[in-house]
Chains A and B, each alone.
Chain A
């Protein structure tokens, strides 16, 4: 058998090629991951829709004025106070007639069923809430209305937005821990949906008086 000496490919330049690629990726890429507050805008108003009738006690007005001061229901407050007040407004533990109305889930279910065309997904969700969380769970009718001036700084606006979102997130987390002993983010999708129904992101922005709740 003839021993053939295999030709040896010079791999010395391989490093150069790899370095070239490496440097290319180093300069063209950025490490940043986009983070932020995800919100849903209300759909555009079509034609003349009359403004929805909302009981005054169910609207929590947060106003940011042109001097970047924050006011809740007409009185100036610190940004840090928003979170606690929003939570109190949504849960209304003492049944204060000035804070949001609490509707028991059973009543919401009956209301939905008495409609001519009941929304079956809603019916299913309400039934699941009664079954899995309990019949005395209440769903709030409250809406936070965030109003701002055209010269309000975006930074302050977002800070307020952050506090309101934070309040709702905390409420969801508290309920999730109470019922399933897990934080909200670790729950399976169908359980998250139930909690989302109990504490929706009821924040209304821009022309709040002429808009329906989103």
Chain B
């Protein structure tokens, strides 16, 4: 760019072969980005919908002619009275007038710009006129939802459940993945196939006996059935970690072994520090997995509302949507806010980790 401006018109011939390419490249970039924005808009539309609905009063949803954005009817106040504003059709378009008294075929109106002209009569059915609205987000839905649901307790429960379960999963899965990656174990390949096969295992196939077992142990109605199994590793996260561990050169742990390090020291001082991206990925995946869990808490915590995580705690709000859309939407916003914030805070590290995994493979 700067070079062209310096050399001026004389360089027109050498740049002309480069310029169309540049233009094409810019157009391609704009085209791809435009497509991306369109697809993204479709994807994020539901989020925009729930945010906007949560800020609207339910009465607005049922009013014909009300805008989609949170709004209230605009009024004109005159001598202590509030008069609604309408766009009244006149010969040259429309005029914004305040309605003093509506009748069927004509109405008494005032011009807010010239109130000194007083009340005058306008012909036409006021019901066909477009009411004027002003932007007015309303937080009433949030205060209603907050007073109806104990969000503090639900958040705390979900946070503890997801946190403890993630610690257990990391602990167990790192050990198991390490075992699968670095040690000669008889029948290792068959064991690994079995491990991977358990990804396919539907939870329904085991939940009745587990319920009976946990009931016998007196664990139902507590968090134990949700937390204890996390400390015994799961196939998905072991697989992810193993794939990453395999990409770490063996020479490093062999060197450490010659220096007399035992396998646990090698794991802690060589493998784990190099597996940061994979560990971060597993942490986030598992945290959100537990945060999302609905089926297991529903089955094992049956009735114990004080122990409910947020997923089960607000389940009833799905069906009340048609009656109280605003409050349901506010509940949904409150529920998704924390995962979204955590995701935004951790995403840089997370995306980077995924990219590193991909490039270094």
The answer to whether A binds B is no
Interface residues of A (CB under 8 A from B): none
Interface residues of B (CB under 8 A from A): none
